[in-house]
């Protein structure tokens, strides 16, 4: 059977989702947990690659295995074999052709910034401390320039080759949340380091290193060196995922808001 699971994780100790030779990964932990629980080696396919140190409040994966454990009990069973910084919150049997990555229609990431000259130990691993004043209105104005179907080559790092660097961003918002600033961006897909480079570019616009309206010009130019830096991974979270009606029951059973 094909089983889909909802999980969340603190990515601090991991080299991202995908199995790596040089360190632990979320995928490796999931495949090990499935093997220990069911005695079957299987490939756990994830909704996407998150970078080393990036977190996920909402992540969807699927794997094929023979399983007699009721789906409502499977999260508890898997969690007994997972480290405490990874947790499965829902599971459901899905059609054989369901794939967590290719059936996802859009994703939302959130990046958190702690604007302060003083350290806060409770933000150290989960937000980017920025020492200089940030103008939230300029941040929002710069963020709006990312919305639409555009070429995002200027805000991606070199990695696995892709056929096209054109993506559609549905929204990009900068907003205060308690003592943090949150940048939320939703798109139909993301290039390598794209969300973090977008956040860095918005930060530069907020600090006055270039005007917010220049973000559109930077995208049009396609020059990575003209945009802002790729900010550290600890402030980035995968927060929401969208699928079509075929997995509506998954959303209900997992008690997660993964549908529009």
Active site residues: 51
Cα separation values, 225 from 162, 218, 222, Å:
20, 9, 9
Q: How many CB atoms lie within 10 A of CB 126?
A: 17
Cα separation values, 56 from 12, 128, 135, 140, 234, Å:
11, 16, 27, 24, 11
Residue with tokens 């918005």: 202
Name 158's Cβ contacts closer than 8 Å, sequence gap at least 6.
Answer: 192
CA angle in degrees (0–180, nearest 5) for 150-111-50:
75
Quote the CA–CA distance of 27 and 21 in Å, as a whole number: 12
Q: How many CB atoms lie within 10 A of CB 165?
A: 15
Q: How many CB atoms lie within 10 A of CB 157?
A: 13
Residue 151 has which token pair? 């070429």
Report residue 222: phi and psi, to 5°: 70, 15
Quote the CA–CA distance of 246 and 250 in Å, as a whole number: 9
Residue 54 DSSP code: -
């Amino acid at each position: 059977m094909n089983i889909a699971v909802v999980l969340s994780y603190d990515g601090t100790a991991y080299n991202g989702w995908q199995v790596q030779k040089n360190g632990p990964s979320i995928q490796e932990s999931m495949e090990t947990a499935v093997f220990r629980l069911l005695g079957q080696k299987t490939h756990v396919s994830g909704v996407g690659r998150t970078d080393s140190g990036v977190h996920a409040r909402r992540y969807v994966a699927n794997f094929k295995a023979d399983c007699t454990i009721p789906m409502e009990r499977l999260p508890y069973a898997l969690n007994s074999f997972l480290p405490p910084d990874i947790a499965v919150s829902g599971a459901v049997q899905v059609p054989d052709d369901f794939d967590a990555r290719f059936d996802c229609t859009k994703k939302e990431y959130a990046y958190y910034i702690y604007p302060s000259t003083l350290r806060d130990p409770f933000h150290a691993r989960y937000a980017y401390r920025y020492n200089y004043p940030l103008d939230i209105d300029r941040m929002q104005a710069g963020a709006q320039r990312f919305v639409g179907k555009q070429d995002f080559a200027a805000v991606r790092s070199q990695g696995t080759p892709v056929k096209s660097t054109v993506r559609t961003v549905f929204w990009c918002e900068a907003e205060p949340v308690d003592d943090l600033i949150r940048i939320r961006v939703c798109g139909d897909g993301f290039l390598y380091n794209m969300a973090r480079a977008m956040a860095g570019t918005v930060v530069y616009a907020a600090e006055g290193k270039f005007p917010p309206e220049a973000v559109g010009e930077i995208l049009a130019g396609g020059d990575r060196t003209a945009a802002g830096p790729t900010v550290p991974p600890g402030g980035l979270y995968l927060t929401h995922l969208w699928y079509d009606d075929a997995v509506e029951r998954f959303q209900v059973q997992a008690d997660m808001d993964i549908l529009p």
